[in-house]
A and B are shown apart, each in its own frame.
Chain A
Amino acid sequence: MSIKTDITDRHILLVEDNPDDVDLTIMALEKSSIMNEVKIARDGEAALRVLLGSEGEEPPKLPAVVLLDLNMPKISGMEVLKEIRRNERTRRLPVVILTSSGEERDIMQGYDLGANSYIRKPVDFDNFVHAMKQLGLYWLTLNELGV
């Protein structure tokens, strides 16, 4: 887990199995001058552990936003989303689906399961940087959390 510090104390949870995408996302956030901490979960299972904690432990602090990839080994992004919405503690947590797929059924299902936003990662890195900047600004500064 890579840890970054930020004065706002709000952090981001990036659920992504592809290390390239992890690095590109972090670089894009850095280029957009978003300095908030980014926690990484490499698969769905890890994501749920980070969010819900293990039994007998104190529940961890929730992120300001979850950036959720869909296509992951073990537990898929949709299942993670379903689990987040089912759990009392996380059901109001902002979840942004950040994925390669522009398939309509993914978009529909994502919203049906309670995603707050659906963003298709552009191939062009410049566009990606632009998208991440918008995203960070919105969810980290403008958006009020419902927790």
Chain B
Amino acid sequence: METPDQCISFMWELNKYRLTQLNPWNIVLIYLVLGFLWILFSDRLLEQLIDNSATLTQFQTYKGWFYVLVTGLLLLLLLLRYSARITRMRGDFVDRFELYRSLLEQGNQVVFQVDDNQHFSYTNAAVKDILGYDEKEFRTLHDFEAIIHQNDLENFHAIRKVCDSDIRDHESVRHQVRMRHDDGDWRWYRMILTDKRGFEHIQSRLLLIRDIHEETTLYERLRESKIRFEHLFQEAPVGYHSLDGDFTIIDINKSELNLLGYSRQEVIGKKTWADLIAPEDLPTFEQHKKDLLEKGYVENLQYSIVRKDGTRRSVILNGRAFFDEQDRLLYTLGNVVDMTDQVRAEEEIRRLNVSLEEKVKERTRELEMANRELESFAYSVSHDLRAPLRGIDGFSRVLVEQYADKLHQQGLDYLDRIRKASQRMGMLIDDLLMLSRITRQDLNREQVDLGIISTEILEAHQEKEPKRNVGFDIAGELTATGDPSLLRILMQNLLDNAWKYSSNRAQAYIEVGRADMDGRRYVFVRDNGVGFNMKYHDKLFVPFQRLHTQDDFPGTGIGLATVQRIISRHGGSIHAESKENEGSVFYFFLPDKSV
């Protein structure tokens, strides 16, 4: 497109042609002036030079011919120059016209020229590019009605109304409308109806259509994005604000206003950020200001701020500064997170921790007290419960010995039973005390070789009952971590059982070894004794629960409970596998470190 400046210079040139150059009037004027001057002076000059009238007449004839010749040449000269100007001017016009025509045809807008009957008298080629339709499909403005989006009909009708009116020289009307492109898409266009005053008052009415889809959608997207941003800014649960170079609030979102308890009018341009900070935090704020100007940002600053109602909130502030070319602070953007609840929660946790510690101390005291009670109970059991048993047993014995002649056989039998019962009770008390001692005793963890202990225990059994035929198989390197005295009690109980429950085997067999299961290293004690029914497995480790009668296999039912307690005090685990009359295996596991 030509710039307005170029247009003006072109118009100026036209005027120059019209006003200052040769034209028919000027030529005639020059002819008249020359003719008048010739007639006025040439006769007088001849009369002074020639006296003879006959000669004069002859010379006047020559002069007439000369005049005609000279004026003819002059006219020829003037007309030649004039026509040369005209030709040049026409060439200029043609060039200009071609330029504008190509601009019009190839331009980025559709141009319709509307004649007095509201018909399109001219249509440029852009209609195919811009609307996708053939130019012949549009004969009047009314032909557009079918492709206008129904929401934009109102705008279209406003243009149509002007177009249909007889008033010419109307001001331009322009509206945005969506039209269905030939490819089916709705696109945004701007329609402009404009009246142009042409050369020598010729009016021409133009309908222009420009494709503004890109800019409109871009604008729409921008507007949507702005709405989204605005929504985010205002509704985000985080406070946002912007401060000017003096740290005065110039923008603030709803969340932060809620946090501060002020209205927008009360802070914008009126409060500085420093006005909101608790007095004791002001020195820190001054330091942070310096940091911000130096680094351009600050992070995780903690302040106490004072709300409008005087209450306080704990906040965390992140900020970024923006500077001009002279490094002067233009504005800052900051976000503010209300940490009050979190700070309170942390304080609450701290408080709870303290009270938890107190509770733990209290429980520990209670536990210690319970332990002391248990200990004194065990102590008095140890002393006081056994003494009467000794009386019962002892005096029964004396009766049997010294008064045998005065008692029937049945009486002696009863006395024997009394003694057995009291001795059994003595064992029960001893075992119970053992069990309670295991619970009370402090653990000393050491490396213990269970193989050596096992050998010692089994050899002791063998020594006591040399007649029994028992085969041992004890694996080497059976080390475990635990309290040596407790682990000895553990092995003692397991091996006593193995020894006891295999007593009716002609060839008994006891094995102590290692087995890896579920990624753990277990130690096992296996025998080929009477075994037990697995459905009673749960009762095995319960104190006083026995799976065999006293007559078959005597016992107190505390041995495996003791084993279980030793294992659990070490943080380990134990289980057994057995089949009746096929023997049992006890697997236990002791962790290397305290749990």
A-to-B contact residues, CB < 8 Å: 18, 20-21, 24, 27-28, 70-71, 99-104, 121-126, 128
* Set A71, A125, A126: member contacting B383, Cβ < 8 A: A71
Q: Is the CB of B383 within 8 A of A20?
A: no
| A101 CA / B397 CA spacing, docked (Å) | 22
Kindly provide the distance from the CB of A121 to the nearest chain B CB, expressed in whole angstroms. 6
**A99 nearest CB neighbor, chain B only:** B383
Known: A20-B395, A71-B384, A123-B426. A100 touches B433 (CB 8 A): no
Residues B347-388 near A (CB distance < 8 A):
378-379, 382-384, 386-388
Contact of A70 among B383, B390, B397, B430 (CB under 8 A): B383
Give complex CA distance A21, B386 in Å: 11
Contacts of B430 on A, CB cut-off 8 Å?
102
Shortest C-beta distance, B423 to chain A (Å), equals 5
Nearest Cβ in chain B — how far from A108, in angstroms?
A: 13
How would residues 465 to 504 of chain B score, 1 for a CB under 8 Å from any chain A CB and 0 otherwise?
A: 0000000000000000000000000000000000000000
A sample of 29 cross-chain residue pairs with beta-carbon separation below 8 angstroms, ordered by A number, consists of: A20-B391, A20-B394, A21-B387, A21-B391, A24-B391, A24-B395, A27-B394, A27-B398, A70-B383, A71-B383, A71-B384, A99-B383, A101-B383, A102-B382, A102-B430, A103-B379, A103-B433, A104-B437, A121-B386, A121-B390, A123-B390, A123-B423, A123-B425, A123-B426, A124-B419, A124-B423, A124-B426, A125-B398, A128-B390
Judge whether B379 and A18 touch: CB under 8 Å.
Answer: no
Which chain A residue shows the least CB distance to B393? A125
Q: Mark B114-155, 1 if CB is under 8 A from A, else 0.
A: 000000000000000000000000000000000000000000
In the assembled complex, which residues on chain B have CB atoms less than 8 Å from the CB atom of A101?
379, 382-383
Name A126's closest neighbour in chain B (CB-CB).
Answer: B397
Name which of A103, A123, A126 has the most chain B CB atoms within 10 A of its CB.
A123
The answer to whether the Cβ of B422 comes within 8 Å of any Cβ in the partner chain is yes
- Chain B interface residues (CB < 8 Å from chain A): 378-379, 382-384, 386-391, 393-398, 419, 422-423, 425-426, 430, 433, 437
- Bound form: Cα–Cα A124–B421 in Å: 11
A23 to chain B, nearest CB (A): 8
A residues near B395, Cβ cutoff 8 Å: 20, 24
Q: Are B384 and A100 in contact (CB under 8 A)?
A: yes
* Residues of chain A lying within 8 A (CB to CB) of residue B397: 125-126
- Report Cα–Cα, A37/B397, bound state, in Å: 24
- Please give, as numbers and ranges, the residues of chain A lying within 8 Å of B422 by CB-CB distance: 123
Sample of 4 further A-B pairs with CB below 8 A, known A101-B379, A103-B378: A27-B398, A123-B393, A123-B423, A125-B397
The residue on A at minimum CB distance from B422 is: A123
Q: What's the least CB distance linking B160 to chain A, in Å? A: 115
Residues of B contacting A128 with CB < 8 Å?
390, 394
CB-CB < 8 A to A100: which residues of B? 382-384, 386-387, 390
Is A24 touching B394 in the complex (CB atoms < 8 A)?
yes
A110 to B433, CA, bound (A): 20
Looking at the assembled complex, report how far the CB atom of B369 sits from the nearest CB atom of chain A, in whole angstroms: 18
- A-B pairs, top 8 by smallest CB distance, nearest first, are A123-B426, A20-B391, A125-B397, A125-B394, A24-B394, A100-B386, A71-B383, A101-B382
Q: Which A residues are CB-close (under 8 A) to B425?
A: 123
Q: In the complex, A77 Cα to B378 Cα: how many Å?
A: 18
Chain A residues within 8 Å of B389, by CB? 123
Please report the C-alpha to C-alpha distance between residue A122 and residue B397 in the assembled complex, in whole angstroms: 14
Asked if A124 and B393 sit within 8 Å, CB to CB, the answer is yes
* B397: nearest chain-A partner, CB-CB: A125
Residues of A within 8 A of B393 (CB): 123-125
Chain A residues with CB below 8 A from B391, complex form = 18, 20-21, 24
Query: What distance in Å separates the Cβ of B350 from its nearest Cβ neighbour in chain A?
Result: 42
Q: How far is the CB of A126 from chain B (nearest CB, A)?
A: 7
Question: How far is A133 from B397 in the complex, measured between Cα atoms in Å?
Answer: 17
Q: Is the CB of B433 within 8 A of A102?
A: yes
**How far, in angstroms, from A39 to B379 measured CA to CA in the complex?**
28
Q: How far is the CA of A99 from the CA of B383 in the complex (A)?
A: 8
Residue of A nearest to B430 (CB): A102
A86 to B379, CA, bound (A): 27
Minimal beta-carbon separation of A46 from chain B (angstroms): 19
Beyond A71-B383, A99-B383, A100-B383, whether A125 also contacts B378 by CB under 8 A is: no
A123 to B391, CA, bound (A): 8
Q: How far is the CB of A22 from chain B (nearest CB, A)?
A: 11
In the complex, what distance in Å separates the CA atom of A134 from the CA atom of B384? 25
* B415 CB, nearest partner CB in chain A, Å: 11
Closest chain B residue to A27, Cβ basis: B398
Residue of B nearest to A31 (CB): B401
Complex Cα distance A18/B386, Å?
A: 12
The minimal Cβ–Cβ distance linking A75 to chain B, given in whole angstroms, is 16
State A125–B390 Cα separation when bound (angstroms). 7
A141 to chain B, nearest CB (A): 25
Residues of A within 8 A of B390 (CB): 20-21, 24, 100, 121-123, 125, 128
Chain B min CB distance to A79 (Å): 16
Output the least CB separation between B51 and chain A (Å): 186
Chain A positions within 8 Å of B383 at CB level: 70-71, 99-101
What is the CB-to-nearest-CB distance from B401 to chain A, in angstroms, rounded to a whole number? 9
